[in-house]
Amino acid sequence: MRWLAILACTLAILLASAPVHAQTRVELLGTWPAGDPVTLHNGQNFYLHLRYRSDQPVHIWVRPYFEGKPVKAGSNPSRTYPAGSGDALGWFFLFDPGAQVDEVQIKAGDGSLDRTPVVATFPVSVTSDDQPAQASTRPAWLTALNAADQTAARADHEKSMLPSASVGDTALFGGFMLAFVALGLIGVAWPAWALWRWRGGWRIAAAVPAIAMGFVILRIVVDTARDPTSHNLWPFEIVMWGGFSCLWMLAEGLARKLAGANRATT
């Protein structure tokens, strides 16, 4: 029986050390239209002023029910509420005149089926008719929360309209950066190698791109130290002069080959 005791202790330790995620808590602070019962007229919403507490960002939805069954209704979307505590707005409207609601269920989570449980239920008495709604003054909490929801919706819309970098764009940018680095390195390394290996006139010719690349890099460093905005396009300068250096060395290499010059001789 000793192994059973060891197993039980191990399970207890694992359970005790497992992270505990607190469930989102939601309480009802008020409703509008106020009253009990409430009759919703044509095109009118039933609003709920909620207070939530959550240890992580959360979405909150309101769903109307009657006798345990969902009611044919439209209800609020949900913005992302930050972790911590704060106020949230929920609402629904009824499609059919004569529909009834005796309970609202509050769901909170990330929107997935297994991670958006019902966290609260509140009894209500709401019916609907086909009469036109009368204008009335909204409570301050409804005006404030509705404005916050609209601001969040606009921000999400503007964010969705921003162009996102495609795979092709990313690859193109990455290719440009690789070409910039390669041309810069080759434009410096190739003449330096030729100055070390070649002799005579070939070495003097190889000094031309080496001096040009050195001058360009030194000028960028000195000018930028004095005025950081003086070479905003310095990568293009490196690419241009690196390309010049590579073309010069390629032409000189072909000339040496045609001349039959040995690497270590003139």
pLDDT of 50 > 90? The answer is yes
pLDDT of 9 > 80? The answer is no
Per-residue model confidence as pLDDT tens digits over 187-240: 888 888 888 888 888 888 888 888 888 888 888 888 888 777 766 677 778 878
Mean predicted confidence (pLDDT) in 125-149: 89
What DSSP string runs through the chain?
Answer: -HHHHHHHHHHHHHHHHS---PPPEEEEEEEES-SSSEEEEET--EEEEEEEEESS-BEEEEEEEETTEE-SEEE---PPBPSEEEEEEEEEEESSTT-EEEEEEEEEESSSGGG--EEEEEEEEEEEEEEEPPP-PPPHHHHHHHHHHHHHHHHHHHHHHSPPPPHHHHHHHHHHHHHHHHHHHHHHHHHHHHHHH--HHHHHHHHHHHHHHHHHHHHHHHHHHH-TTTTTTHHHHHHHHHHHHHHHHHHHHHHHHHHT--TT--
pTM over 0.85: no
- pLDDT the model gives residue 67: 93
Per-residue model confidence as pLDDT tens digits over 67-122: 999 999 998 888 889 989 999 999 999 999 999 999 999 999 888 878 889 999 99
- pLDDT the model gives residue 17: 41
Mean predicted confidence (pLDDT) in 160-187: 71
Q: Which range is least confidently modeled, 59-63, 120-124, 255-259? A: 255-259
Per-residue model confidence as pLDDT tens digits over 10-39: 444 444 444 434 578 999 999 999 888 999
Sketch out the chain's domains with CATH numbers.
19-158 (2.60.40.770), 167-259 (no CATH)
